[in-house]
Amino acid sequence: MATGALSKIFEELLNKDTLFKNREVLRSSHTPDYLPHREEQVNHLASILVSALRGDSPSNVLIYGKTGTGKTAVAKFVGKELEDMGEAKGLPLYVIYVNCEIVDTQYRLLAHLATYFGRDVPMTGWPTDRVYEEFREGLDSEFRIAIIILDEIDKLARRGDDVLYNLSRMNSNLKNSKVSIIGITNDLTFTDHLDPRVRSSLGEEELIFPPYNATQIEDILKQRAEEAFKEGVLDDTVIPLCSAYAAQEHGDARRALDLLRISAELAERRGDKRVTEEHVRMAQDKIEVDRVVEVVRTLPTQSKLVLASIVWLSGRMKSFTTGEIYRVYRQMCMYIGADVLTQRRVTDLISELDMLGIVNATVISKGRHGRTKEVSLSASIETIKLVLNEDYRLKELSGFRASTQTSLI
């Protein structure tokens, strides 16, 4: 039977020596029981939230810090401890974690919260105030203390901070329950374009998470590695190297953990018994390539066209301006019969590519010759070309040449 043969394959793979004891602890989503170098933040947050255990609503908190500085981990960790304490004391304490990168609109956030408290809200269709009412009634139906953690809160506030306004002053509309908000953001300027009233109530307390330095990241990696790996599979240099790489990336611990995990996975796949520096370097490349591939692949067609123009120009010169990109872009669109967007829109698309780390775009002033963005490719051109070619609509570009009237410069 074929299944017999197949199960044999799996069996062999399963019996193959693994370097891992527990791979999960290396995932950044894993919340460990102890967070090295974050004692101060944990204590601070706990001291703010402790009033929940006395039946009061704690102050709202804003947490700032770059990616991979442990904001989410600390918030989740303290939240869980708090919930456990609440349970032990028989308090109706609810800690609700919402990632605003996924739940990224007012409507969806309120619908999510309402659903949490057992209300049925359709995915779309209702006026927002009605969803808000639904949530309020659901929450207020009995005595409760709710702590809402809004991760990546900047992604939500981008348009309309109405929800935040409503949520932050919600306590005055509640008879039985109390609500507090913990906002997490990596955008230090986040509060700038926020309604002043929201700003003051949301930021009653503020916590700053500084980036980790290389030695701190080393501690984190050591702690996790102990749980994750079998004895002696790591070369001594592996953890310092991972830490050094991550420290360059503004002390991103998540990055370091990914790097360590992927290094080990690569080693394992090649059947090596130990993880070495070489694996780390391979992993570093792999992460970068995977990131670019993933980003480019999921780009909408118009962005791909803009990127294709940039790639085309990169083959000819080092850097170029928005105007040049737009001229090439327009011709490409005509060439394959796609809609041509306005230059205004294209500048936005370029900025998005910049934010995604695929291109570099800096605004410069060329004096007499006006202001423009100077753009250059910042990821591997080969990788991007390869992925762009996967798109059947862009395949037709293979015969593309810019017409002579595209006098570049």
Binding site residues, DNA, CB under 7 A: 104-108, 122-129, 159-160, 300, 302, 321-323, 339-345, 347-348, 350-351, 363, 365-373
Exposed / middle / buried, residue 2 (Cβ in 10 Å: 0-12, 13-18, 19+): exposed
The CA-atom distances, in angstroms, between 128 and each of 105, 155, 170 are 10, 18, 15
What does the buried/exposed string (b/e) look like for 361-393 if buried means 16 or more CB atoms within 10 Å of the residue's CB?
beeeeeeeeeebbebebebeeebbbebbeebee
Task: Indicate the residue among 31 and 115 with the shorter CB distance to DNA.
Answer: 115
Nearest to 106 by CA among 151, 167, 43, 19: 167
Q: How far is the CB of 324 from DNA (least distance, A)?
A: 8
**Please, which residues bridge with residue 151 across strands?**
99
Task: Indicate the residue among 262 and 346 with the shorter CB distance to DNA.
Answer: 346
Task: Indicate the residue among 176 and 298 with the shorter CB distance to DNA.
Answer: 298
Task: Indicate the residue among 341 and 386 with the shorter CB distance to DNA.
Answer: 341
Task: Indicate the residue among 108 and 178 with the shorter CB distance to DNA.
Answer: 108
Task: Indicate the residue among 243 and 372 with the shorter CB distance to DNA.
Answer: 372
Element containing residue 65 per DSSP (H, E)? strand 61-65
Phi (first) and psi of residue 63, to 5 degrees: -115, 125
Distance, in Å, from the CA atom of 43 to the CA atom of 108, rounded to the nearest integer, reads 32
Q: Look up tokens 């130990």; give the residue.
A: 274
Task: Indicate the residue among 62 and 111 with the shorter CB distance to DNA.
Answer: 111
Sign of the four-CA dihedral 94, 95, 101, 102: negative
Nearest to 329 by CA among 404, 399, 397, 409: 397
Q: What is the DSSP letter of 52?
A: G
Distance, in Å, from the CA atom of 309 to the CA atom of 206, rounded to the nearest integer, reads 44
Task: Indicate the residue among 67 and 351 with the shorter CB distance to DNA.
Answer: 351
Distance, in Å, from the CA atom of 126 to the CA atom of 139, rounded to the nearest integer, reads 19
Q: What is the DSSP letter of 237?
A: T
Q: How far is the CB of 259 from DNA (least distance, A)?
A: 31
State how beta strands 178-185 and 61-65 pair: parallel
Q: Under a CB-based contact definition with an 8 Å cutoff, are residues 119 and 95 in contact? A: no
Task: Indicate the residue among 168 and 321 with the shorter CB distance to DNA.
Answer: 321
Nearest to 132 by CA among 154, 164, 155: 164
Task: Indicate the residue among 214 and 338 with the shorter CB distance to DNA.
Answer: 338
Distance, in Å, from the CA atom of 38 to the CA atom of 71, rounded to the nearest integer, reads 9
Q: How far is the CB of 105 from DNA (least distance, A)?
A: 3
